[in-house]
């Protein structure tokens, strides 16, 4: 909410207990900048990618998701539905 705009190499991973459309939704209330949102299922497959605009209240994935990646809008072109994503310690 009061975070400065993300840099292209920054982001956050949100993890839910199980796949869900509602629980993996995001809201943009009080956001001052747009973000790229990538939703992943239990198998770490991309199921939806959207540019979340700061003026739109909420976004839901097209299918139930367990993981939500929030990152810089420039990252949207890096992810396509069906891609597999892996997480490594940094």
pLDDT of residue 67: 97
Does a structural domain hold residue 83? no
Taking the mean position of all CA atoms in its chain, how far away is CA 88?
17
When divided into structural domains, the chain yields a total of: 1
The whole-model pTM stands at 0.91
- pLDDT by 10s per residue, the chain, length 90: 567 888 888 899 999 999 999 999 999 998 899 999 999 999 999 999 999 999 999 999 999 999 999 999 999 999 999 999 998 875
Print burial letters for 44-69: b (CB count within 10 Å at least 16), e (below 16). Answer: ebbbbbbebeeeeeebbbeebbbbbb
Does a structural domain hold residue 54? yes
Determine the structural domain holding residue 33 and report its residue range: 11-75
Does a structural domain hold residue 2? no
Does a structural domain hold residue 3? no
pLDDT of residue 80: 97
pLDDT of residue 89: 75
pLDDT of residue 1: 53
Cα-based torsion angle of the residue sequence 24, 25, 29, 31 in order, rounded to the nearest 10 degrees: 70
Does a structural domain hold residue 84? no
């Amino acid at each position: 909410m009061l975070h400065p705009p993300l840099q292209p190499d920054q982001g956050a991973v949100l993890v839910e207990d199980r796949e869900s459309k509602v629980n993996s939704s995001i809201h943009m209330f009080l956001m001052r900048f747009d973000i790229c949102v990538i939703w992943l299922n239990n198998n770490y497959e991309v199921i939806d990618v959207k540019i979340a605009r700061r003026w739109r209240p909420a976004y839901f994935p097209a299918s139930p998701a367990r993981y939500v990646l929030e990152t810089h809008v420039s990252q949207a072109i890096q992810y396509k539905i069906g891609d597999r994503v892996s997480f490594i310690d940094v």
